[in-house]
Amino acid sequence: MTIEADYKIGLRGVECIRHYVKMLDGSPGVYRMLGTKGEVLYVGKAKSLKNRVRSYLNPQAQGKRIERMINSTASMMFLTTKTETEALLLEQNLIKQLKPHFNVLLRDDKSFPTIYISTEHSFPQIRKHRGRREKTGKHFGPFASAAAVNRTINQLQKVFLIRNCSDSIFNNRTRPCLQYQIKRCAAPCVGLIDEKSYAELVNDAQSFLQGKTSRIQQNLASKMDLASKALEFEKAAALRDRIQALTQIQSVQGINPQSVSEADVVGLYLESGRACVQVFFIRSHQNWGNKSFFLNTGEGAEEDEILKAFLGQFYTNKHPPKEILLSHPIEDYDPMGSVLSEIRGKKVKLTIPKRGERALLIENAVRNARESLNRKMSEITSQILLFESISEKIRLNEIPEIIEVYDNSHIQGAYQYGTMICLGKEGFLKSSYRKYKIRNEQLAPGDDYGMMREVFTRRFQRLIDEDPEKTNLLWPDLIIVDGGQGQLAAAKEILDSFGLDEIAIISVSKGLNRKQDTETIHLTDKTKIKLEKNHSLLFFIQRIRDEAHRFAIGTHRAARKKTVRSSSLDDIPGVGAGRKHALLNHFGSAQEIKKAGVDDLKAVRGISESIARKIHSYYHEN
């Protein structure tokens, strides 16, 4: 059963909800509460839709946050499911997709990196992997950060000498690379190690990542002893270095529990309506790092609702472990376990430990969550003071909530981009960053004013088209332009043309020879404000401009990388991304493809005889 939203009923709040209660039965399902403009206010699931929605008829008993939500409701939508577990899974997917204002929302839901060891190649490769897990090969993780993975792979290469180069590079080597020279690879690409010996190294690396460390250290120690007795001191020294690298990996892992082999430790700390969840990743009895997550909870959300929302949103794009240790009980305990088991493909056990080593792990996670939240609150307080300082300095009537910073960049007139970063009182809002490739071909290379006009036109035309009444999107209260009076005038001209003169705008320029610590703020009335050296506002301006430059540089790097990746294959009809990838993997470079005959080209997976002839004739006829 599906009940669509009906805006013609003309009811709001409790009366609107009472209208829909009459249509419902006791089926499990998902409901959406909608505002007057169709915006999604809240997504919830219920074992019995009728009973759950009926509970909203008494808003005073729900808390202030839910009471405000009820009073804003102008319509509802319903979708029934076969089971409560299905409803829970659908609810979490909709929350992640729609980001309703009154739901508890997880801000950072990126996937975590793993260590991947390929198994389909005779000489497996070790590398960092992020995203959906490969069907072939073995994954070890997750790790809390890319830095932790890179550090571990670096040490593993020192110990086990496994290659990290791509298959195409491996297939085209004629002599050992630098990794061999610095003793981080056994150079299987040129036959300096046989397949059996290399397989032993790979097996040892996998055993280490599975927690079987003592046996590996004993084997290396005995080999070092034998080499020393045989007066093979260079070999003994290399084995000693490998043992030291192995010890270094273990020393940075921190707490390594004995009774917990595979678990995520999830600790929640809630204070004054703000929540932090700390997750520790335990794999193979080893601590593979931890990370803090800050949630938008809204007023009145309790621990059980917050933790349930976190689990549902956190694991939608991640592989759950076999056990999850929780600091607090949650709503829908059994359905959540079923959902996580379905995502994993195996049983997932949810536990709230009260004693023993598991309880100590939870205690440690909650303590870290509390300390992270305290640091975050301190940062927010400092940020608010800086917002107040800049508001006072440029004489604004109100303290801004959202600041946007714009920068133009190019390389000698090529790769012309405009970039925008966004920040609020809690820090940089990276999901709101935007980049604009300059489309106007009539602009002279490096025309900063023309680039600024195009960026502002595209940015604010889209904002007006998507949110003409300024209700749902993050409209800026203050705009900072990198540049002088000319850039400021160009940007102000576009804002005025859209009737957006209520948005404050300034520009910031460096001093003579672009010297730091001599920044000047330019106002639209052509007033100039010099920032004093060592002033906190000066450091704030420098920090946000550095972030704008970092984002612009990343945009340039990606554009140049994309250009470098292009090849003559792109011009051959019938050769798309898949065939191009297969050809380059097989031959190693476009230069080798040019030399190949029709039969050689046909040997590549996905290349038919007609395509092979087309490629061959393209190179040889042209």
What is the distance between the terminal CA atoms of the chain, rounded to a whole angstrom? Answer: 62
* Rounded average pLDDT over 8-19: 85
pLDDT number for residue 430: 86
Which of 130-134, 402-406, 493-497 is predicted with the least confidence, judged by mean pLDDT?
130-134
Assess contact for 69 and 103: CB atoms under 8 A: no
Looking at the chain, the domain(s) classified CATH 3.40.1440.10 span: 2-103
Distance (Å, whole) CA 51 – CA 508 = 58
For β-strands 504-509 and 478-482, DSSP reports them as parallel
pLDDT (average), residues 499-520: 77
| Contacts of 558 by beta carbon, 8 Å cutoff, 6+ apart | none
* Full-model pTM: 0.70
Q: What pLDDT does residue 78 have?
A: 92
Residue 267 DSSP class: E
The predicted pLDDT at position 525 comes to 87
Work out the pLDDT band at 288, boundaries 50, 70, 90: confident
Task: Name 551's Cβ contacts closer than 8 Å, sequence gap at least 6.
Answer: 407, 419, 421, 433, 435
Is it the case that residue 257 has pLDDT exceeding 70? yes
Q: What was the pLDDT predicted at 200?
A: 85
Record the tokens describing residue 589, joined without a space: 């470079």
- Nearest 5°: phi and psi at 51? -65, -40
Of 426, 381, 370, 378, which Cα lies nearest the Cα of 403? 426
pLDDT band at residue 150, thresholds of 50, 70 and 90? confident
The mean pLDDT value for 296-325 works out to 85
Looking at residue 362, its pLDDT comes to 93
- Average pLDDT, integer, range 520-534: 84
pLDDT value at 255 more than 60: no
| Of the candidates 336, 266, 324, the residue with the CA atom closest to the CA atom of residue 295 | 266
Cis peptide before 335 (omega within 30 of 0): no
Q: Sign of dihedral through CA atoms 589, 592, 594, 600?
A: negative
CATH level 2 (architecture), domain 403-554? 2-Layer Sandwich (3.30)
Q: Could you tell me the pLDDT band of residue 438, with boundaries at 50, 70 and 90?
A: confident
- CA-CA distance, 306 to 296, in Å (whole number)? 9
pLDDT at 267 over 90: yes
In the numeric block, the tokens 């984002």 are attached to 551
Q: Please tell me whether residue 373 adopts helix, strand or coil conformation.
A: helix
Superfamily of domain 2-103: GIY-YIG endonuclease (3.40.1440.10)
Contact 417, 436 (CB under 8 A): yes
Q: What is the DSSP letter of 103?
A: S
Give me the mean pLDDT over the 579-606 stretch.
80
pLDDT of residue 412: 63
* Selected residue with higher pLDDT from 484 and 221: 484
Considering only residues 402 and 259, tell me which one the structure prediction assigns the higher pLDDT. Answer: 402
How far apart (Å, rounded) are the C-alpha atoms in residues 418 and 555? 9
Q: Residue 251: pLDDT above 60?
A: no
- Residue the block writes with tokens 């009737």: 499
pLDDT band (50, 70, 90) for residue 349: very high
Share of the chain above pLDDT 70, in %: 89
How sure is the predictor about 223, in pLDDT bands with cuts at 50, 70 and 90?
A: confident
Backbone angles phi, psi at 403, to 5 degrees: -120, 135
Residue 75 in contact with residue 281, Cβ under 8 Å?
no
Give yes or no for residue 121 having a pLDDT over 80. yes
Residues 416/451, Cβ–Cβ less than 8 Å: yes
> Which residues 6+ apart lie within 8 Å of 137 measured at CB?
116, 117, 118, 119, 120, 124
Read off the pLDDT band of 143 (50, 70, 90). Answer: confident
Buried b (16+ CB within 10 A) or exposed e, 548-558: bbebbeebbee
List, in sequence order, every residue forming a beta bridge with 421; answer none if it has no partner.
405
User: What are the DSSP E strand ranges found in 302-446?
Assistant: 323-326, 349-351, 403-411, 414-424, 427-428, 434-437
The DSSP 8-state label assigned to residue 531 in this structure reads P
Q: Give the mean pLDDT of 243-267.
A: 72
State phi, psi for 620 to the nearest 5 degrees.
Answer: -85, -25
Do residues 130 and 101 touch, judged by C-beta distance below 8 A?
A: no
β-bridge mates for residue 33, sequence order: 42, 76
66 pLDDT band (50/70/90 cuts)? confident
The burial class, CB within 10 Å (0-12 / 13-18 / 19+), for 157 is: buried
Q: pLDDT tens digit string along 71-117?
A: 889 999 999 988 888 888 888 888 888 888 888 888 766 778 888 99
Q: Does 323 score more than 90 pLDDT? A: yes
pLDDT at 345: 86
Calculate mean pLDDT across residues 582-601: 79
Contacts of 259 (CB under 8 A, 6+ apart): 356, 357, 358
pLDDT of residue 515: 56
> What would the mean pLDDT of 480-497 be, rounded to a whole number?
90
Instruction: Specify the domain boundaries for CATH 3.30.420.10 within the chain.
Output: 262-374
Q: Which residue has the higher pLDDT, 399 or 556?
A: 399
The share of the chain scoring above pLDDT 90, in percent, equals: 20
278 or 261: whose pLDDT is higher? 278
Query: Higher model confidence: residue 485 or residue 211?
Result: 485
Where in the chain is CATH 1.10.150.20?
A: 568-621
Residue 344: phi, psi to the nearest 5?
-75, -30
pLDDT at 513: 55
Residues 500-512, mean pLDDT to the nearest whole number: 84
Per-residue pLDDT, 584: 76
Measured distance CA(4)–CA(14) in Å, rounded: 18
- H or E segment and range at residue 258: none
Q: Which class in CATH covers the domain with range 262-374?
A: alpha beta
* Ranges 76-80, 135-139, 364-368, 477-481: which has the least confidence: 135-139
Q: What torsion, rounded to 10 degrees, do the Cα atoms 234, 236, 238, 243 define?
A: -170
State which CATH number among 1.20.1250.20, 3.40.50.620, 3.30.420.40, 1.10.150.20 fits the domain covering 568-621: 1.10.150.20
Residue 309, SS3 per DSSP? helix
Q: Please tell me the distance from the alpha carbon of residue 102 to that of residue 517, in angstroms, as a whole number.
A: 43
Among all chains, which residue has been given the structure tokens 């610590």? 517
3-state SS, 175-217, equals CCCHHHHCCCCCCHHHCCCCHHHHHHHHHHHHHHHCCCHHHHH
- Rg (Cα) of the chain, in Å, rounded? 30
pLDDT band per the 50, 70, 90 thresholds, residue 566: low
All CATH 3.30.420.340 domain ranges of the chain, comma separated, are: 403-554
Q: State how far the Cα of 304 lies from the Cα of 320, in Å rounded to an integer.
A: 20
pLDDT confidence of residue 108:
67
